[in-house]
Copies of this chain bind each other. A is one copy, B any other.
Amino acid sequence: MPTARPTIADVAQRAGVSKGLVSFALNDRPGVSPQTRERILEAARELGWQPNLRARALSVDRAFALGLVIMRDPEIITGDPFYPSFIAGVERELASAGQALVLSVVPDEAAELAAYRKLVTDRRVDGVFVTDLRHDDARIALAAELGVPAVTLGHPEAPSPFPAVSMDDRAGIAAAVDHLAGLGHRRIAHVAGPDRMLHGSRRRRAFEEAMAAAGLPAGMVVETEFRAVDGARATRDLLARPDRPTAIVYANDPMAIAGLGIAQRAGLRVPHDLSITGFDGSDVGEHLFPSLSTVATDAVSWGAVAARVLLRSIAGEEPGDTDLPPARFVPRESTAPVTEPTDRTVP
């Protein structure tokens, strides 16, 4: 009574054929007569044979897995809903393709590069996702050097050998600015993500362009990190200015939520005294009072499409760049028509 799991040798023996033929039959390849094929499949079924992915991985030199490296300080919980949703989307594609996702969470940039390198040289993955692009992003060159297929979320600045899957977040920012301008706001500020991150600087530029397009004076921009604590500080700074803005466009939801807290703490009524918009559509923003107007990005389908593109790259196709439907502005309660600013001073 064999306690160990049956191998194709066992199947071969039971079906009275050679190992090689079993492999052909199980992989639906030509060169096996219909009767024999059926006999082999029957034997495999009876024995409860399951392929050993490790053996397969060695002989076909594939890992059947994709790599995702996320950089974040483990102690800082941003509450950013992007990755959970993105991963759910990725997963949806991978499951049906028999692939797995190998995840690495690293604290800093050096560890990030090391993680990519290790995933590839250990041959744990066949391709990698490159998220949160930065200026002069070293990961592009690294992936090229390692010769691993990759997909980037958004277009890197420098020419890249890898397909990009992009979602235009500029349209969402523009819609937010237009919405605010339409409500009569003129002094609109932007709390931007770090300039070194492409989506940070791109949203900032989108903001500046939208302001110009709306015929408004250049808005105040505070550049900071994407975390709640930084959004809070930036908001404090903005509200302390003599020409305090009547509306603030935040580059993500955690910053906006923290900003809302600061404004309320300062005695401002949102949206009466200050309008606020976020970015990324977190679940929790919807349940605040006032609920947060935001720009909804479909991170789930971003993940799904990126995974599909990466799988095609690995299969040797050369998928072109993909543009997803642009992010949509979702007006909720945190934006309202501008009112004459009170003389109230902010501490």
The interface size of chain A toward B, counting residues with CB under 8 Å, comes to: 64
Set of chain B residues within 8 Å of A91, measured between Cβ atoms: 74, 103-106
A228 near B53: Cβ-Cβ < 8 Å? no
- Say how many copies of this protein the assembly contains: 2
A78 near B283: Cβ-Cβ < 8 Å? yes
A300 near B74: Cβ-Cβ < 8 Å? yes
A100 near B100: Cβ-Cβ < 8 Å? no
A319 at the interface (CB under 8 A from B): no
Set of chain B residues within 8 Å of A105, measured between Cβ atoms: 84, 87-88, 91
**Which residues in window 23-77 of A have CB below 8 A to B?**
50-55, 57-58, 61, 63, 65, 72, 74-77
Question: What residues make up the interface of A, taking CB atoms closer than 8 Å to B?
Answer: 50-55, 57-58, 61, 63, 65, 72, 74-79, 81, 83-85, 87-89, 91-92, 95, 100-106, 115, 119, 121-124, 227-229, 231-232, 254, 257-258, 260-262, 264-265, 281-284, 286-289, 291, 300
A83 to B123, alpha carbons, bound, how many Å? 26
A63 to B282, alpha carbons, bound, how many Å? 36
Top 6 A-B pairs ranked by shortest CB distance?
A74-B88, A258-B287, A264-B289, A77-B81, A261-B289, A91-B105
